[in-house]
Amino acid sequence: MKYFWIQLVLIVGSLSLALMFIRRWDRANTRAWKRIAFSVFVIVNVYAVLRPTDVTWFAQQLGVGRGTDLVLYVMVLGMGFLTLNTFLRFRSLEKKLTDLARTVAINEGVRSNDERLGPDAAVPASSESLKA
Amino acid sequence: MSQNDDVWLVIPAYNEGQVIADVVEGARKTFPNIVVVDDGSTDDSAQHIATTGAHLVRHPVNLGQGAALQTGLKYALAQPGATYFATFDADGQHQTADVEKMVELLRSGVADVVLGSRFIEQNGQVPWIKRVVLRTAAAVSPTARKLKLTDAHNGLRVLNREAAGRLRITMNGMAHASEIVSFLAGSDLRVAELPVDILYTEYSRAKGQSLINGVNIIFDISLRERGRR
Protein backbone atom coordinates (compact mmCIF):
# COMPACT_ATOMS: atom_id res chain seq x y z
CA MET A 1 0.00 0.00 0.00
CA LYS A 2 3.09 2.15 0.15
CA TYR A 3 2.66 3.41 -3.41
CA PHE A 4 -1.13 3.66 -3.38
CA TRP A 5 -1.52 7.41 -3.67
CA ILE A 6 1.09 8.00 -6.33
CA GLN A 7 -0.30 5.06 -8.29
CA LEU A 8 -3.76 6.57 -8.02
CA VAL A 9 -2.51 9.95 -9.22
CA LEU A 10 -0.64 8.48 -12.19
CA ILE A 11 -3.43 6.11 -13.23
CA VAL A 12 -6.08 8.84 -13.02
CA GLY A 13 -3.79 11.07 -15.05
CA SER A 14 -3.26 8.44 -17.72
CA LEU A 15 -6.96 7.63 -17.91
CA SER A 16 -7.88 11.26 -18.34
CA LEU A 17 -5.34 11.40 -21.15
CA ALA A 18 -7.11 8.53 -22.86
CA LEU A 19 -10.45 10.24 -22.26
CA MET A 20 -9.15 13.46 -23.75
CA PHE A 21 -8.05 11.50 -26.79
CA ILE A 22 -11.47 10.05 -27.39
CA ARG A 23 -13.69 12.94 -26.38
CA ARG A 24 -13.85 16.30 -28.03
CA TRP A 25 -11.43 18.62 -26.45
CA ASP A 26 -12.02 22.00 -27.91
CA ARG A 27 -15.04 23.33 -26.15
CA ALA A 28 -14.91 26.56 -24.26
CA ASN A 29 -15.20 24.98 -20.82
CA THR A 30 -12.39 22.50 -21.43
CA ARG A 31 -10.30 25.38 -22.66
CA ALA A 32 -11.04 27.15 -19.40
CA TRP A 33 -9.91 24.06 -17.47
CA LYS A 34 -6.68 24.00 -19.41
CA ARG A 35 -6.07 27.60 -18.43
CA ILE A 36 -6.84 26.91 -14.79
CA ALA A 37 -4.44 23.97 -14.89
CA PHE A 38 -1.78 26.21 -16.34
CA SER A 39 -2.26 28.84 -13.62
CA VAL A 40 -2.03 26.19 -10.91
CA PHE A 41 1.11 24.88 -12.60
CA VAL A 42 2.74 28.31 -12.43
CA ILE A 43 1.80 28.85 -8.79
CA VAL A 44 3.02 25.40 -7.77
CA ASN A 45 6.23 26.07 -9.68
CA VAL A 46 6.95 29.23 -7.75
CA TYR A 47 6.08 27.55 -4.47
CA ALA A 48 8.30 24.55 -5.21
CA VAL A 49 11.23 26.79 -6.01
CA LEU A 50 10.79 28.75 -2.79
CA ARG A 51 10.27 25.72 -0.55
CA PRO A 52 11.80 22.61 -2.12
CA THR A 53 11.61 20.62 1.11
CA ASP A 54 7.82 20.85 1.02
CA VAL A 55 7.84 19.05 -2.30
CA THR A 56 9.78 16.19 -0.76
CA TRP A 57 7.36 16.12 2.15
CA PHE A 58 4.42 16.00 -0.22
CA ALA A 59 6.11 13.29 -2.30
CA GLN A 60 6.56 11.17 0.80
CA GLN A 61 2.89 11.56 1.67
CA LEU A 62 2.12 10.09 -1.75
CA GLY A 63 4.56 7.22 -1.26
CA VAL A 64 7.29 8.61 -3.50
CA GLY A 65 10.79 8.79 -2.02
CA ARG A 66 12.09 12.10 -3.25
CA GLY A 67 10.51 15.32 -4.44
CA THR A 68 12.53 15.04 -7.65
CA ASP A 69 10.85 11.76 -8.46
CA LEU A 70 7.41 13.25 -7.95
CA VAL A 71 8.30 16.16 -10.22
CA LEU A 72 9.50 13.64 -12.83
CA TYR A 73 6.26 11.64 -12.69
CA VAL A 74 4.13 14.73 -12.98
CA MET A 75 6.30 15.92 -15.86
CA VAL A 76 5.69 12.72 -17.78
CA LEU A 77 1.95 13.22 -17.42
CA GLY A 78 2.30 16.87 -18.38
CA MET A 79 4.24 15.88 -21.50
CA GLY A 80 1.47 13.50 -22.44
CA PHE A 81 -1.16 16.20 -22.18
CA LEU A 82 0.98 18.62 -24.12
CA THR A 83 1.65 16.14 -26.93
CA LEU A 84 -1.97 15.21 -27.24
CA ASN A 85 -3.14 18.78 -27.13
CA THR A 86 -0.70 19.71 -29.88
CA PHE A 87 -1.72 16.72 -31.96
CA LEU A 88 -5.42 17.58 -31.73
CA ARG A 89 -4.73 21.20 -32.50
CA PHE A 90 -2.70 20.27 -35.58
CA ARG A 91 -5.45 18.02 -36.79
CA SER A 92 -8.05 20.70 -36.56
CA LEU A 93 -5.74 23.17 -38.27
CA GLU A 94 -5.06 20.68 -41.03
CA LYS A 95 -8.76 20.26 -41.63
CA LYS A 96 -9.27 24.01 -41.85
CA LEU A 97 -6.31 24.35 -44.20
CA THR A 98 -7.71 21.62 -46.42
CA ASP A 99 -11.13 23.28 -46.64
CA LEU A 100 -9.53 26.62 -47.39
CA ALA A 101 -7.13 25.27 -50.02
CA ARG A 102 -9.91 23.28 -51.67
CA THR A 103 -12.16 26.31 -51.95
CA VAL A 104 -9.34 28.41 -53.36
CA ALA A 105 -8.31 25.64 -55.78
CA ILE A 106 -11.80 25.14 -57.14
CA ASN A 107 -12.60 28.84 -57.49
CA GLU A 108 -9.31 29.47 -59.22
CA GLY A 109 -9.70 26.32 -61.33
CA VAL A 110 -13.14 27.32 -62.60
CA ARG A 111 -11.81 30.72 -63.64
CA SER A 112 -8.66 29.51 -65.36
CA ASN A 113 -10.36 26.54 -67.04
CA ASP A 114 -12.96 28.92 -68.49
CA GLU A 115 -10.13 30.97 -69.94
CA ARG A 116 -8.16 28.00 -71.18
CA LEU A 117 -10.90 25.71 -72.46
CA GLY A 118 -13.44 28.33 -73.45
CA PRO A 119 -16.34 29.85 -71.53
CA ASP A 120 -18.86 27.52 -69.95
CA ALA A 121 -16.22 24.82 -69.85
CA ALA A 122 -16.39 24.76 -66.11
CA VAL A 123 -19.24 25.38 -63.76
CA PRO A 124 -18.52 26.61 -60.26
CA ALA A 125 -19.38 24.34 -57.42
CA SER A 126 -22.62 25.52 -55.89
CA SER A 127 -22.46 27.29 -52.58
CA GLU A 128 -24.05 24.27 -50.99
CA SER A 129 -21.40 21.88 -52.21
CA LEU A 130 -18.68 24.38 -51.35
CA LYS A 131 -19.59 24.03 -47.73
CA ALA A 132 -19.17 20.29 -47.88
CA MET B 1 -18.95 13.82 -79.22
CA SER B 2 -18.52 10.64 -77.30
CA GLN B 3 -20.70 8.16 -75.52
CA ASN B 4 -18.70 8.82 -72.38
CA ASP B 5 -19.72 12.46 -71.99
CA ASP B 6 -21.31 11.67 -68.67
CA VAL B 7 -18.11 10.25 -67.20
CA TRP B 8 -15.54 12.36 -65.36
CA LEU B 9 -12.08 11.11 -64.66
CA VAL B 10 -10.51 12.50 -61.50
CA ILE B 11 -6.72 12.32 -61.62
CA PRO B 12 -4.73 13.44 -58.58
CA ALA B 13 -1.20 14.41 -59.59
CA TYR B 14 1.79 15.24 -57.49
CA ASN B 15 5.08 15.85 -59.30
CA GLU B 16 4.12 13.77 -62.31
CA GLY B 17 5.41 16.24 -64.90
CA GLN B 18 7.25 13.52 -66.84
CA VAL B 19 4.21 11.48 -67.72
CA ILE B 20 1.05 13.43 -66.86
CA ALA B 21 0.44 14.96 -70.30
CA ASP B 22 0.71 11.59 -72.05
CA VAL B 23 -1.50 9.88 -69.49
CA VAL B 24 -4.15 12.60 -69.76
CA GLU B 25 -4.14 12.74 -73.56
CA GLY B 26 -4.25 8.95 -73.71
CA ALA B 27 -7.25 8.84 -71.41
CA ARG B 28 -8.99 11.69 -73.24
CA LYS B 29 -9.29 9.55 -76.35
CA THR B 30 -11.91 7.59 -74.46
CA PHE B 31 -13.05 9.98 -71.78
CA PRO B 32 -13.30 13.62 -72.90
CA ASN B 33 -14.03 14.91 -69.40
CA ILE B 34 -11.03 14.88 -67.13
CA VAL B 35 -10.13 16.96 -64.12
CA VAL B 36 -6.55 16.79 -62.97
CA VAL B 37 -5.89 17.99 -59.44
CA ASP B 38 -2.34 19.23 -59.19
CA ASP B 39 -1.62 18.71 -55.52
CA GLY B 40 0.83 21.56 -55.07
CA SER B 41 3.48 19.99 -57.30
CA THR B 42 6.93 21.50 -57.14
CA ASP B 43 7.82 20.41 -60.67
CA ASP B 44 6.31 21.57 -63.96
CA SER B 45 3.25 19.29 -63.73
CA ALA B 46 0.84 22.23 -64.03
CA GLN B 47 2.38 23.46 -67.30
CA HIS B 48 2.21 19.96 -68.75
CA ILE B 49 -1.41 19.57 -67.71
CA ALA B 50 -2.21 22.97 -69.21
CA THR B 51 -1.12 21.70 -72.64
CA THR B 52 -3.85 19.04 -72.52
CA GLY B 53 -7.58 19.43 -72.86
CA ALA B 54 -8.18 18.45 -69.26
CA HIS B 55 -9.54 20.69 -66.56
CA LEU B 56 -6.88 21.72 -64.10
CA VAL B 57 -7.41 22.44 -60.43
CA ARG B 58 -4.37 23.39 -58.41
CA HIS B 59 -4.02 23.03 -54.68
CA PRO B 60 -2.04 26.06 -53.52
CA VAL B 61 -0.14 23.79 -51.12
CA ASN B 62 0.50 20.06 -51.06
CA LEU B 63 -2.29 18.36 -49.10
CA GLY B 64 -2.05 14.69 -50.03
CA GLN B 65 -3.73 12.32 -52.43
CA GLY B 66 -6.90 11.88 -50.40
CA ALA B 67 -7.48 15.63 -50.34
CA ALA B 68 -6.78 15.86 -54.07
CA LEU B 69 -9.35 13.16 -54.82
CA GLN B 70 -11.98 14.92 -52.73
CA THR B 71 -11.26 18.23 -54.47
CA GLY B 72 -11.47 16.60 -57.90
CA LEU B 73 -14.74 14.87 -57.06
CA LYS B 74 -16.22 18.10 -55.78
CA TYR B 75 -15.20 19.91 -58.94
CA ALA B 76 -16.52 17.16 -61.19
CA LEU B 77 -19.81 16.92 -59.30
CA ALA B 78 -20.52 20.55 -60.18
CA GLN B 79 -20.07 19.99 -63.91
CA PRO B 80 -23.28 19.60 -65.92
CA GLY B 81 -24.10 16.13 -67.12
CA ALA B 82 -21.59 14.46 -64.85
CA THR B 83 -23.07 11.13 -63.81
CA TYR B 84 -20.16 8.76 -63.30
CA PHE B 85 -16.90 9.54 -61.55
CA ALA B 86 -13.70 7.56 -61.89
CA THR B 87 -10.57 7.94 -59.78
CA PHE B 88 -7.56 7.32 -61.95
CA ASP B 89 -3.85 7.33 -61.21
CA ALA B 90 -1.57 9.90 -62.83
CA ASP B 91 1.39 7.59 -63.35
CA GLY B 92 -0.10 5.65 -66.23
CA GLN B 93 -0.65 2.36 -64.44
CA HIS B 94 -4.41 2.34 -65.03
CA GLN B 95 -6.08 1.65 -68.34
CA THR B 96 -9.12 3.29 -69.82
CA ALA B 97 -10.38 -0.06 -71.10
CA ASP B 98 -10.82 -1.09 -67.47
CA VAL B 99 -12.68 2.13 -66.68
CA GLU B 100 -15.02 1.49 -69.60
CA LYS B 101 -15.82 -1.97 -68.26
CA MET B 102 -16.49 -0.52 -64.82
CA VAL B 103 -18.69 2.27 -66.16
CA GLU B 104 -20.66 -0.29 -68.18
CA LEU B 105 -21.37 -2.16 -64.97
CA LEU B 106 -22.65 1.03 -63.32
CA ARG B 107 -24.77 1.89 -66.35
CA SER B 108 -26.44 -1.50 -66.10
CA GLY B 109 -27.63 -0.38 -62.66
CA VAL B 110 -26.47 -3.39 -60.67
CA ALA B 111 -24.01 -1.40 -58.54
CA ASP B 112 -23.39 2.11 -57.24
CA VAL B 113 -19.65 1.73 -56.91
CA VAL B 114 -17.19 -0.44 -58.80
CA LEU B 115 -13.73 -0.98 -57.42
CA GLY B 116 -10.82 -2.27 -59.43
CA SER B 117 -9.08 -5.37 -58.16
CA ARG B 118 -5.68 -6.69 -59.06
CA PHE B 119 -6.45 -10.13 -57.71
CA ILE B 120 -9.70 -11.42 -59.12
CA GLU B 121 -7.87 -12.71 -62.14
CA GLN B 122 -4.30 -13.60 -61.52
CA ASN B 123 -2.32 -11.77 -64.12
CA GLY B 124 1.14 -12.26 -62.70
CA GLN B 125 1.91 -8.55 -63.09
CA VAL B 126 1.88 -7.70 -59.41
CA PRO B 127 5.23 -8.15 -57.70
CA TRP B 128 4.85 -11.05 -55.28
CA ILE B 129 5.80 -9.17 -52.10
CA LYS B 130 3.21 -6.51 -52.92
CA ARG B 131 0.67 -9.21 -53.61
CA VAL B 132 1.20 -10.80 -50.20
CA VAL B 133 0.97 -7.50 -48.34
CA LEU B 134 -2.07 -6.22 -50.22
CA ARG B 135 -3.94 -9.50 -49.89
CA THR B 136 -3.19 -9.58 -46.20
CA ALA B 137 -4.42 -6.01 -45.88
CA ALA B 138 -7.67 -6.97 -47.58
CA ALA B 139 -8.00 -10.09 -45.45
CA VAL B 140 -7.42 -8.44 -42.08
CA SER B 141 -9.42 -5.29 -42.75
CA PRO B 142 -12.85 -5.89 -41.22
CA THR B 143 -14.54 -3.49 -43.62
CA ALA B 144 -12.94 -5.01 -46.69
CA ARG B 145 -13.99 -8.45 -45.46
CA LYS B 146 -17.55 -7.29 -44.99
CA LEU B 147 -17.68 -6.21 -48.62
CA LYS B 148 -15.79 -9.37 -49.66
CA LEU B 149 -13.15 -7.27 -51.36
CA THR B 150 -10.02 -8.87 -52.66
CA ASP B 151 -8.08 -5.64 -53.02
CA ALA B 152 -8.68 -2.79 -50.59
CA HIS B 153 -6.08 -0.41 -51.95
CA ASN B 154 -6.69 -0.09 -55.63
CA GLY B 155 -6.70 3.46 -56.97
CA LEU B 156 -9.12 2.67 -59.76
CA ARG B 157 -12.72 3.22 -58.70
CA VAL B 158 -15.87 4.31 -60.45
CA LEU B 159 -18.74 5.86 -58.52
CA ASN B 160 -22.17 6.96 -59.58
CA ARG B 161 -23.49 10.38 -58.68
CA GLU B 162 -25.11 9.32 -55.45
CA ALA B 163 -22.01 7.60 -54.14
CA ALA B 164 -19.66 10.40 -55.19
CA GLY B 165 -21.91 13.01 -53.62
CA ARG B 166 -22.01 11.19 -50.31
CA LEU B 167 -18.32 10.40 -50.12
CA ARG B 168 -16.35 12.70 -47.84
CA ILE B 169 -12.65 11.93 -47.78
CA THR B 170 -11.15 13.39 -44.63
CA MET B 171 -7.88 11.48 -44.65
CA ASN B 172 -5.66 13.74 -46.67
CA GLY B 173 -2.82 11.28 -46.99
CA MET B 174 -2.70 7.77 -48.34
CA ALA B 175 -5.09 6.35 -45.74
CA HIS B 176 -8.01 7.55 -47.85
CA ALA B 177 -8.18 4.17 -49.62
CA SER B 178 -9.10 2.44 -46.38
CA GLU B 179 -11.38 5.33 -45.51
CA ILE B 180 -13.30 4.93 -48.77
CA VAL B 181 -13.70 1.20 -48.17
CA SER B 182 -14.97 1.74 -44.65
CA PHE B 183 -17.35 4.45 -45.90
CA LEU B 184 -18.73 2.00 -48.46
CA ALA B 185 -19.04 -0.77 -45.90
CA GLY B 186 -21.00 1.52 -43.59
CA SER B 187 -23.34 2.73 -46.32
CA ASP B 188 -26.16 1.01 -48.16
CA LEU B 189 -24.40 1.51 -51.50
CA ARG B 190 -23.98 -1.54 -53.69
CA VAL B 191 -20.33 -2.25 -54.26
CA ALA B 192 -18.86 -4.49 -56.95
CA GLU B 193 -15.34 -5.44 -57.85
CA LEU B 194 -13.95 -5.93 -61.33
CA PRO B 195 -10.56 -7.28 -62.32
CA VAL B 196 -8.22 -4.64 -63.70
CA ASP B 197 -4.78 -4.76 -65.17
CA ILE B 198 -2.15 -2.61 -63.58
CA LEU B 199 0.89 -1.71 -65.62
CA TYR B 200 3.84 -1.78 -63.29
CA THR B 201 6.26 0.27 -65.35
CA GLU B 202 9.65 1.39 -64.12
CA TYR B 203 8.15 4.83 -63.63
CA SER B 204 5.14 3.73 -61.61
CA ARG B 205 7.28 1.40 -59.55
CA ALA B 206 9.56 4.27 -58.64
CA LYS B 207 6.66 6.61 -57.96
CA GLY B 208 4.38 4.06 -56.36
CA GLN B 209 3.78 3.45 -52.73
CA SER B 210 6.51 1.76 -50.84
CA LEU B 211 5.34 -0.99 -48.58
CA ILE B 212 6.81 0.69 -45.54
CA ASN B 213 4.27 3.44 -46.10
CA GLY B 214 1.73 0.84 -44.99
CA VAL B 215 2.87 1.60 -41.47
CA ASN B 216 1.81 5.22 -41.96
CA ILE B 217 -1.54 4.12 -43.28
CA ILE B 218 -2.22 1.85 -40.33
CA PHE B 219 -1.25 4.64 -37.96
CA ASP B 220 -3.45 7.20 -39.70
CA ILE B 221 -6.41 4.87 -39.74
CA SER B 222 -6.12 4.00 -36.08
CA LEU B 223 -6.16 7.70 -35.24
CA ARG B 224 -8.90 8.52 -37.69
CA GLU B 225 -11.78 8.63 -35.25
CA ARG B 226 -9.77 10.51 -32.71
CA GLY B 227 -9.68 14.22 -32.37
CA ARG B 228 -12.34 14.69 -34.96
CA ARG B 229 -14.70 17.55 -34.51
List residues of chain B with CB under 8 Å from any CB of chain A: 35, 37, 50, 53, 55-61, 63, 67, 70-71, 74-75, 77-80, 168, 170, 172, 226-229
pLDDT digits (tens, 9 = 90+) for A49-88: 898 888 888 888 888 888 888 889 888 888 988 888 888 8
Same domain membership, residue A77 and residue A46: no
Is residue A130 in some structural domain?
Answer: no
A31 interaction partners in chain B (CB closer than 8 Å): none
Cβ-Cβ contacts under 8 Å, B58 against chain A: 105, 108-109
In a domain, A57, yes or no: no
How far the first Cα of chain B sits from its last, in Å, is 45
Please check whether residue A25 lies inside any domain of the structure.
yes
- CB-based contact B59 A102, cutoff 8 Å: yes
Residue A9 included in any domain? yes
- Residues B168-195: pLDDT tens digits? 998 887 788 888 988 888 888 888 888 8
Cβ-defined contact of B78 to A129 (cutoff 8 Å): yes
Q: A18 to chain B: nearest residue by CA? A: B226
Which residues of chain A does B56 touch, with a Cβ-Cβ cutoff of 8 Å?
Answer: 109, 112-113, 116
What ipTM is given for this predicted complex? 0.77
In a 3-state reduction of DSSP, which class is residue B85? strand
Q: In whole angstroms, what is the distance from residue B198 CA to residue B206 CA?
A: 14
**Distance, CA of B201 to CA of B213 (rounded, Å):** 20
Residue A59 inside a domain? The answer is no
Shortest distance between the Cα of A89 and any Cα of chain B, in A, equals 9
Helix (H) or strand (E) holding A39: helix A28-50
Q: How many domains is chain A partitioned into structurally? A: 2
Nearest Cα to Cα of residue B116 among B134, B137, B101, B135: B101
Q: Under an 8 A CB cutoff, do B80 and A22 touch? A: no
pTM for this prediction: 0.76
A46 and A83 part of one domain: no
Q: Is A37 exposed, middle or buried (0-12, 13-18, 19+ CB in 10 A)?
A: exposed
In a domain, A120, yes or no: no
Check whether residue A1 and residue A46 sit in a common domain.
Answer: yes
In a domain, A15, yes or no: yes
Residues B60-91 have pLDDT tens digits of 999 999 999 999 999 999 999 999 999 999 98
Instruction: Assess if residue A55 is contained within a domain.
Output: no
One digit per residue, the tens of pLDDT, for chain B of length 229 reads: 457 889 999 999 999 888 899 999 999 999 999 999 999 999 999 999 999 999 999 999 999 999 999 999 999 999 999 999 999 999 888 889 999 989 998 998 888 999 988 876 555 566 667 666 776 766 666 666 667 777 777 889 999 999 999 999 988 877 888 889 888 888 888 888 888 888 777 776 666 666 676 677 777 766 655 444 3
Q: Are residues A38 and A1 in the same domain?
A: yes
Containing structural domain, residue A91: 65-113
Q: How far apart are the first and last CA of chain A?
A: 55
